[in-house]
Amino acid sequence: MRIFPIYAPRMIAKHARVFRDGVVLIKHIGRLEFKAGRFIMPRHSLPKVREVINELNGLLQLEAAAAG
């Protein structure tokens, strides 16, 4: 588990891409899980959390497309 004191999307996406499976805790947002390098959408979540997960997964897709 890594704790991010601020929301830094690129740094968080890089962490998920490198470690592939795990959990991050983002201050003022909450706990986010990722598997296979993608963030998992919880069943019941706040709109802000959904927005963050969509943004992070979008960044991961862009990085994968640029690398591949």
**Phi/psi-derived region of residue 6, left when phi > 0, alpha when psi is between -120 and 50, beta in every other case:** beta
pLDDT of residue 31: 96
Task: State mean pLDDT over 47-60.
Answer: 97
Task: State mean pLDDT over 12-40.
Answer: 96
Residue 68: pLDDT over 90: no
- Taking a C-beta distance cutoff of 8 angstroms, is the pair 4, 51 a contact? no
Domains of the chain (ranges, CATH numbers): 2-67 (3.30.1910.10)
Of 50, 23, 51, 25, the closest CA to residue 35 belongs to 23
Give the integer Cα–Cα distance in Å for 19 and 23: 10
Residue 14: pLDDT over 80: yes
Q: Which residue has the tokens 């993608």?
A: 38
